[in-house]
Chain A
């Protein structure tokens, strides 16, 4: 199956990186999370309720909606924090990208471990700019806010194409499709990784350890 890939690009100031990334990642995950499944007899299941909340950005004139789940928020903040630190400490021109990949697990026979088959990949390319004075920063606040509005519209447009989504799983298969480790919501299985582009233009791949519990066949 082909993996659907979307790329978004943003230019931000250093202190805006975190909020901009969180805004995009949360918007994607809002659309890719459901309530918790509760399986009942005879193959039926009911779905819990997803709450939402508004988040105001401090460094950008922007607000977005995220799923009301502290666990999910923490996981994303951790990932984005590491990306931001890597960007800062790499000494590069401040270019990098962070990727959010949704995948399905396919059980393999022993002795092979499970396959992870991606079905959707979101990549956010970031270019960090340095600004000289407060006036430029103020303009940047507004401009980045407007850009992020455009990104949200792009994301929503992709989501509403109603392209491939994994089939709703049976109870035994649910962990191959969804991340069931959170207690209040259930996103599709995802992983976040990032790359920093150093000044020579080559990519230094740094894949983060998985943010979900990894079950190995072996």
Chain B
């Protein structure tokens, strides 16, 4: 039994609804926060017809791994007094240094609002609070850092449930309150504490390198945690398929309220439930997400297709840059890192370069790869020579296979124009000379027309 104060006034249906709302609010909160730190622009589509799977009437995608982690952290409980749900956002450099940037806290206090209508007012206010969260996640300093993540650092998240731990944020951290919603069982508060002392790294340091991938992984095991909340070394095994598909909607009962009433509450339940809110299995939800993916930046479109092959490639590139620490926990770290890199990379895998390698190597690697593929098509003398570093002016890092360097090579030696080749040239020249008198005669006949044309031009 959850220790809510004085819950006897709440009808059991309202109580059930409220618990459901709070649960899904917590899950959506985590999704919004994590997605805002992926390093990419988010875009979802408005839909005038409710689908039954869009909680709080907002199109917020569910990344299944994130939902899974959130549910794991919650372990069937809900935020309550003294038990807050926290999402910790931190930064980890390629050298292994890490720093906590933000802690987002979803808390509950004891201040109850008995009069408020659960299925209507609380629901709408939670929706408003999610919108505020969408807005606020873009204005804290970590947002800009996360948009620039890539070679030199990545942004990580961790979800925990229990007491809020702010000690990792350094001195002088600031707090912004996103908002509160009163309910009959307590007041939900959403806030963010963020570090302002980014002393050992400034954002300028990371502006040089354009990000080529946005990664979020959800664990790190190389820092001690003062609290008793358990660390989660994600124990994925290498053989396990990336198709450990996490169900996004578990029960058929977990359907969001889509019907509201302008009539008194007693009438709500009947028509609302009859209103054909369908039990939503995971397929429609995925369908909606697929639509959204097609329209917008493929946030995790590659997630599902980057299965084991790419992961094994990553093993070679990333583990070469490991810090040289030995021991199985660290290997586990590297393995997990690799799996997640495969999961969230949204560029072709062969562009992933080890973070330690000097930058000058990457254009070379890129152009080598692309030359390898396109060199044979030109079929010219280049094949007999050793490939040298070719960096054409104004070209950027090789991101696309067809880049400036490849273009130069392919079109440096175009075939001769046929009219310039001697034999054919001589033939056509003779023909031209013969036909010249005829052409002249025709033109002289049309002199008047030409003159009139010239007149019109003046």
Contacts and interface: CB of A to CB of B under 8 A. Distances in A.
A72 to B, nearest CB: 9
Given A27-B135, A65-B134, A48 B179 contact: no
A215 interface: no
Contacts of A64: 135, 138
Interface string B236-266: 0000000000000000000000111111000
A161 to B, nearest CB: 9
Contact of A43 (B54, B134, B179, B267): B267
A44 B275 contact: yes
A5 B199 CA distance: 40
Contact of A183 (B48, B177, B263, B267): B48
Given A38-B49, A156-B136, A44 B44 contact: no
Contacts of A40: 259, 271, 275
B125 A162 contact: yes
The interface centre, meaning the residue of B125, B128, B262 with most chain A CB atoms within 10 A of its CB, is: B262
B362 interface: no
Contacts of B296: 53
Contact of B49 (A31, A48, A53, A65): A48
B136 A49 contact: no
Contact of A156 (B47, B178, B260): B178
B51 A160 contact: no
Interface string A147-184: 01100110111011010000011100000000000011
A44 B260 CA distance: 5
A68 interface: yes
Do most interface residues of chain A lie in helix, strand or loop, or is the interface mixed? mixed
Contact of A52 (B58, B129, B271): B58
B275 A46 contact: yes
A62 to B, nearest CB: 8
B347 interface: no
B54 A49 contact: yes
Interface residues of B, number: 49
A137 to B, nearest CB: 17
Contacts of B48: 35-36, 38, 48, 183-184
Contacts of A183: 48
A209 interface: no
Contact of A31 (B44, B128, B271): B128
B382 interface: no
Contact of A42 (B41, B45, B49, B263): B263
B155 to A, nearest CB: 15
Given A31-B131, A160-B129, A54 B262 contact: no
A68 B44 contact: yes
B132 A159 contact: yes
Interface in B321-350: none
A165 B256 CA distance: 23
Contacts of A10: none
Contacts of A35: 46-48, 50, 57
A217 B147 CA distance: 51
User: Which 6 pairs between the two chains have the least Cβ-Cβ distance?
Assistant: A160-B179, A149-B139, A54-B41, A51-B44, A51-B59, A53-B43
Interface of A: 27, 30-31, 34-36, 38, 40-54, 56, 61, 63-65, 67-69, 148-149, 152-153, 155-157, 159-160, 162, 168-170, 183-185
